[in-house]
Amino acid sequence: MARMSRMARRNERNGILFVSPWLIGFAVFIAYPLLASLRNSFTNLTMLKAPRFVGLANYYELLFRDELFKISLFNTLYYVALAVPLGTIFSLAFAVLLNQKLPGISLFRTIYYLPTIVPAVASAIIWVMLLNPQFGIVNSIIRAVGLRAPGWLGDPNWSKPALVMMSLWGTGSTIIIYLAALQDVPEHLVEAAVLDGANAWDRFVNVTVPMISPAMLFNVIMGLIGGFQYFTQAYVMTQGGPLHSTLFYALYLYRNAFQYLKMGYACAMAWLLFLITLACTVIVMRTSARVVYYGGE
């Protein structure tokens, strides 16, 4: 018994030694920055002088006085409310199409995935040219069919829809996840539905969707998290304009931290963003419990 106890202690020691690089990395690069940002959110840290404790002053300023904070939060919620549902619908529709057993389907799968591997800055520059009001390809096509072409990134009413449209172009990774889920749907369930007289739409709604619902839940949650952190495209393409119509939350946080050097204020913004994202994720998880089907249940 004593020998087994010594062996168990040695195995435990060896296990801790093996995971110690990860534990050290987690403590230094994740845990400590999180705790430090929480502490700094209650100070007036500016990177130019020693921080001073101000309590909840940063949070009060954000919630009740800062109009740009409200604008950035509205813009972000607007983007999430459009981009996540549309991204889910479009990526699932394309995944269904790419799941067909047709000659050359692998080529089409590659083509739909290619935008995902294009760097965000490069894709943003490409879309700036595509959405140019005068000579952009998008407006050229719209004018060719006799419609009035919008100003897109130069128009406050069209700037956010333009970014949402751009986000649909880069759904390749989501399509791949849906495609994998679709190929994992048991054939015998589909065949049973066919024998029962179900048409293609009924089979999709009553068999396919429940079987891929865990993948849908995962993609929706990842879309929520990514949408609330939307930054690169707005920073490269519009810098928050015109008229603050694309001043997203992460972009405004960046400005406070690195342009205005209001680090304590930016930390408070970061923690509010964390709470908002957490609340939305919990709501989605709770409301999805009755519609998401797991095979082992």
Residue 17 corresponds to which amino acid?
L
Please check whether the domain covering 65-287 is classified as CATH 1.10.3720.10: yes
Angle at 239 between CA 149 and CA 247, to 5 degrees: 90
Would you kindly state where each structural domain of the chain is located, as residue ranges?
Answer: 65-287
Compute the distance between CA of residue 263 and CA of residue 42 in angstroms, rounded to an integer. 11
Give the tens place of pLDDT for each residue, 180-209: 999 999 889 888 999 888 898 999 999 999
Non-local CB neighbours of 50 within 8 Å, separated by 6+ positions: none
pTM above 0.85, yes or no: yes
Cross-strand pairs, 43: 53
d(CA 32, CA 118): 33
- Summarize pLDDT for 18-74 with one digit per residue, the tens: 999 999 999 999 999 999 999 999 999 987 888 899 999 999 999 999 999 999 999
Q: What is the pLDDT of residues 102-159, one digit of tens each?
A: 888 989 999 999 999 999 999 999 999 999 998 899 999 999 999 999 999 999 999 9
